[in-house]
Amino acid sequence: MNRKYRKTVIAGNWKMNLLPSQVKPFADALKSACGKTKHCDIVICAPAVIVPAAVKHFKDSRIAVGAQDVSEHDSGAYTGEVSAAQLRDGGAKYVIIGHSECREYHGETDRAVNSKVKLTLDHDLTPIVCVGETLWQHEAGITLDLVRAQVKSALYGITAERARKMILAYEPIWAIGTGRTATPDQAQYVCSQMRAVLREMYDARTARAIPILYGGSMNPGNAAELLAQPDVDGGLIGGASLDAGKFISIIQAANQ
Ligand code: PEP
């Protein structure tokens, strides 16, 4: 973390879990524990159908609500999709884009990621753009090539001023939901290289300003060490965000 230049963000990704009726007890636990945690922004990314309940129950708290995906189209005949304008009007403030599960199961391409980022920024939502390599790519030693290409294409055609409103997340796919975590050194190295790409695309000021999160089996046992890395500005947390106690412990680690 480097609080001098950028904010720390702890974002939960509930994936396809919980019911609207289960949000209140979780929100109550989180709100009472997070009142004094001033050093990081806290986000819960919920399924679109749960966003309204989450907005209602996190109202008047430090916890913002996000969605987990958004349409690459602005509006119109796209049955089943949810637009950036609809999410914003429904009270969401953030959207995860390019999550490996969307890339894999919904065929989300780099081009679609770029369109979604642009629309999301147009509608005053903060995109949390995920990049990361598969196990095969990790073992083949091509992580940096892949991650650099994903960052470049996600930000293609976006001005520095707009890029400074974004958040990036390095999520090695082999670490998502597997219990296997990148070492702090690995996470730091890839995040620092992502920041180098931002410097090449824009300038030092922009590269310094954009938070880069780590995601992949972050939990209360490994959070502090990962978050102590200078280019790791927070976490995107799946499994552990479904347990209020574990999520609160990670938030506390980010407040040290
Ligand atoms: C994720 O879904 O973005 C994620 C990082 O999941 P987990 O924490 O369960 O690995």
Tokens of 46: 């919920």
**Dist. CA 183–CA 136, nearest whole Å:** 17
Kindly state whether residue 43 falls inside one of the protein's structural domains: yes
Kindly state whether residue 121 falls inside one of the protein's structural domains: yes
Which pLDDT does position 34 carry in this prediction?
80
**Dist. CA 212–CA 223, nearest whole Å:** 15
Tally of domains in the chain: 1
Kindly state whether residue 64 falls inside one of the protein's structural domains: yes
**Residue 97: which domain range?**
8-254
Which pLDDT does position 36 carry in this prediction?
66
Closest CA to 66 of 210, 148, 169: 169
| Domain harbouring 119, CATH code | 3.20.20.70
Ligand 1 centroid from CA 237, angstroms: 5
Kindly state whether residue 63 falls inside one of the protein's structural domains: yes
Which pLDDT does position 149 carry in this prediction?
97
Kindly state whether residue 2 falls inside one of the protein's structural domains: no
Q: Indicate whether residue 8 lines ligand 1 (CB < 6 A).
A: no
Ligand 1 centroid from CA 99, angstroms: 9
Kindly state whether residue 3 falls inside one of the protein's structural domains: no
Angle, CA of 13, 211 and 5, to the nearest 5°: 145
Kindly state whether residue 156 falls inside one of the protein's structural domains: yes
Per-10-residue mean pLDDT for the chain, 256 residues long?
89 97 93 79 97 95 96 97 97 98 96 98 98 97 97 98 98 94 96 98 97 97 97 97 95 90
Which residue's CA is the closest to the ligand 1 atom numbered 7? 238
Catalytic pick among 57, 72, 99, 123: 99
**Dist. CA 139–CA 152, nearest whole Å:** 22
Kindly state whether residue 200 falls inside one of the protein's structural domains: yes
